[in-house]
Structure 1
Amino acid sequence: MPFAFVKSLSSPNVIYDSKKQWFGETKEGVKQYAKEFQQSKIKIMLKPQIWVWNGVYTGTIKMKSEDEWRELEQSYEDFILVFAKVAEEINAEIFCIGTELEQFVINRPEYWKKLIKKIRKVYSGKLTYAANWDEFKRVDFWEDLDFIGIDAYFPLSDQKSPTLKDFEKGWQPHKNEIIQVQSKFNKPVLFTEYGYRSVNFTGKEPWKSDRIEGDINLENQQKALQALYNQFWKEDWFAGGFVWKWFHNHKEVGGEDNNRFTPQNKPAELTIKKMYENSK
C-alpha cells in the first residue's frame, strides 16, 4: 500500500515516491517486497492510497475551482500511472485505482472513466476501486472495472458484546444493498479492506481507529469476523477480501492485550486460519 500525501482537503498536489517516506511506500520498496511475497506464494493487490497530512477523511477531498480540479486530476494521474506500471512489472494480480475518494469520484465522473482506460494501457491485470462502505452505491464506473471494491466497515450492532447471530443480523440490510449493486453491474464483489478491532462495541463504528487503550474484547473481534465469513464467503458473486491489518513481524504484534485491528496472536487469527483451510 504505497501512500501519497496531500497537504489539505483542497490541495491539488499529490506527493509520492519521496525519500522522506518509508521505503516500502516507494517504487523500489514495492518491487522489493513484492518479490518476498511472491516467494511465499502470496498474491498481490497493489493499492496506492492518498493520506491527508492532518489525518482527515479522504472522501471529502474537494477542490475550490475548476483549475484546481484539473491540477488534481493531472497530479493524481501521474501518481496512479507510476504505480500501475509498477503493478505490471511485479505481475500484481489486482491493481486498485483509488481508495475512499467519494467527492473526487462524484464531482469528476468522466475523469475516472478516462483514467481507467489509461491504466489499462499500462497494466494488464484486474482492476478495482476501494469504495468506502457508505460510498459504493454511488460509484458509476463499476462497469469499467473487474471487481466492485468495498472497504467493508459497515456498522453491524450498537451492543457492547453482540452474539454471532446479532452480528449476522446486522449484515442483512447491507448485504441486500451489495447484492443490488452486484446484480446491476454483474461484477464480483471484493472487500478491499475488512476487519474489526478487539474492543467493546466493535460493530458500532468499525472504521474507528483511535489510539485509546483498554476495553479489550477479543471475542467481539472473533465473532464479527466469523459473521462476515458466514454471510459472504460461500456466495458465488463474492471474490474474497483483504484483512486489515496484518503485520510482517508476526511474533511481535497483536496478542491478548492488544485492542487494535490486527487479528494476529488473538483468537480471531484461528478463525481466519480455519476459514481459509476450509476454503481449499
Structure 2
Amino acid sequence: MDYIKGFTYGWLSQRGDFRTEAARESLRLLQERTGSEYVIFALAALQDTPHTTRVDYKGEHMVDDEELLDMLHYAQSLGLRTILKPTINCRNGTWRAHINFFDRDVPCEPKWHEWFASYTDYQCHYAHIAEQAGCSMIIVGCEMVQTERRSTEWRQLIQNVRQHYSGQISYNTDKYQEANVDWWDAVDVISSSGYYPHDDWEQQLARIERIVKPYSKPFFFAEAGCPSRTGSAAIPNDWNLQGAANVQEQAAYYEAMFEHAGKCDWIEGFGLWDWSAQLYAEHGAGEDDGYGVFGKPAEHVIRNFYTSVQR
C-alpha cells in the first residue's frame, strides 16, 4: 500500500454543497497547501438516536450521488487518490460510539439485526459509488465503539460490501480502542483515530504496534489532528474544550505527532482531520479555533512532513 498522505474533506457537507465553485477551490487549495496525495470524503448519514435502527442517507443532510461523483472525479483530475468514508451521526447529538442495543433480542425493543440491515444498505450504496468512481479505499465505519463487539455482523457487512466494491476496505476504530476489534482479519487495512495527547505519542504508538502487528496488515490513522485552541494539545479529541484560539499550539501538536509517527515504518499514513468544503477567510485564520489548518502554521508543518516522506 502506498503511504497515505491524506486529508479528510467535506465533513457535514449537505445537498448542493459540492456543486459550488468554493468547494472545488477548497479542494484545490487542500492539495496545493498541504501536499496531500489522498483525500478522504467523509459522509454523515443520520439516525434519530443511538437506539433507533433506521439509517437515513437520502435526505438534504447528504450531498447527492451525482454531486459526490462529480467531486470525486474532480479530485482525481487534480491527481488526488480518493477514499470514501460513509459514517453516521445521531440527530439528537449523541456521539456514534454510543449506538447500542440489547445483545439478546427482546420483544418491542430495537434490535441489532434491524440496525445492521439498514446500516449495511447504507454502506453498500456507497460501495457501489466507490467502485464506479475508482476510489482507492472505502472505510465502512468510524469510531462505533459499542457496535464493535458484534463481530459476526461486521464480518457479514464487509462480505456484502465486497460484492459491490473491489478495492481496499478499512474500518476506523476510535482512539484507545485498537484492541477492541477482533475482526481486523476481515478488512484489508486497519485504521484508527489518532487523537492522542501531544506528550503521549511514544507510549501510544508502542501499544498500537503490539496490537496490530500480529495481523500483518497495513495500518494508518484514518483521522488525526488538533484544534487550534489553548489546551487542545493535551486533549485533541475534545472539540468542546474551552480555550482561546492558539495556532501555535496546533502547529506544535502536529510537529510532535509527526516526529514520533515518522519513526515508525509500520504506520502507512494519515487522513488528517479536517478540511472544510467551505473555508473560512484566510485573513481570519488566526482567530479560528477549530481543527482546520487553512492559513495557519500547522498547514506548513503538514506540507513539510508530507513532502519529506519517501515511502
Normalised to the residue count of structure 1, the TM-score between the two structures is: 0.88
The 2-side partners of 1:17 and 1:34 are apart by 18
The 1-side partners of 2:175 and 2:217 are apart by 17
Identify the match of residue 85 of structure 1 among 128, 152, 176.
Answer: 128
Instruction: Supply the AA of the counterpart residue of 2:228.
Output: S
The 2-side partners of 1:278 and 1:230 are apart by 12
The answer to whether structure 1 residue 247 and structure 2 residue 276 are counterparts is yes
Identify the match of residue 30 of structure 1 among 68, 92, 96.
Answer: 68
The answer to whether structure 1 residue 103 and structure 2 residue 130 are counterparts is no
Between 1:246-255 and 1:52-61, the stretch displaced more is 246-255
Deviation of residue 112 (structure 1)? 0.6
Between 1:201-210 and 1:133-142, the stretch displaced more is 201-210
- Structure 2 counterpart of 1:140: 182
- Structure 2 counterpart of 1:221: 250
Query: What percentage of aligned pairs have identical amino acids?
Result: 24
**Bigger relative contact order, structure 1 or 2 (CA pairs below 8 A, ≥6 apart):** 2
The 2-side partners of 1:234 and 1:127 are apart by 26
- Structure 1 counterpart of 2:301: 271
The 2-side partners of 1:126 and 1:22 are apart by 24
Normalised to the residue count of structure 2, the TM-score between the two structures is: 0.80
Identify the match of residue 13 of structure 1 among 35, 39, 54.
Answer: 54
- Structure 1 counterpart of 2:111: 68
SS at match of 2:120: helix
The 1-side partners of 2:276 and 2:45 are apart by 20
Higher strand share: 2
Instruction: Supply the AA of the counterpart residue of 1:121.
Output: Q
The 2-side partners of 1:9 and 1:276 are apart by 37
Deviation of residue 187 (structure 1)? 1.5
The 2-side partners of 1:60 and 1:265 are apart by 35
Name the CA shift for 1:250/1:62 in 2 (closer, same or farther; >3 Å). closer
SS at match of 1:47: strand
Is the CA contact (8 Å cut-off) linking 2:148 and 2:180 kept in structure 1? no
Which ranges of structure 2 fall in alignment gaps of 5 or more residues? 1-41
- Structure 2 counterpart of 1:161: none
Deviation of residue 248 (structure 1)? 3.9
Name the CA shift for 1:40/1:251 in 2 (closer, same or farther; >3 Å). farther
Instruction: Supply the AA of the counterpart residue of 2:46.
Output: F
Deviation of residue 211 (structure 1)? 8.1
Identify the match of residue 216 of structure 2 among 155, 179, 186.
Answer: 186
Name the count of aligned residue pairs.
263
Is the CA contact (8 Å cut-off) linking 1:187 and 1:237 kept in structure 2? no
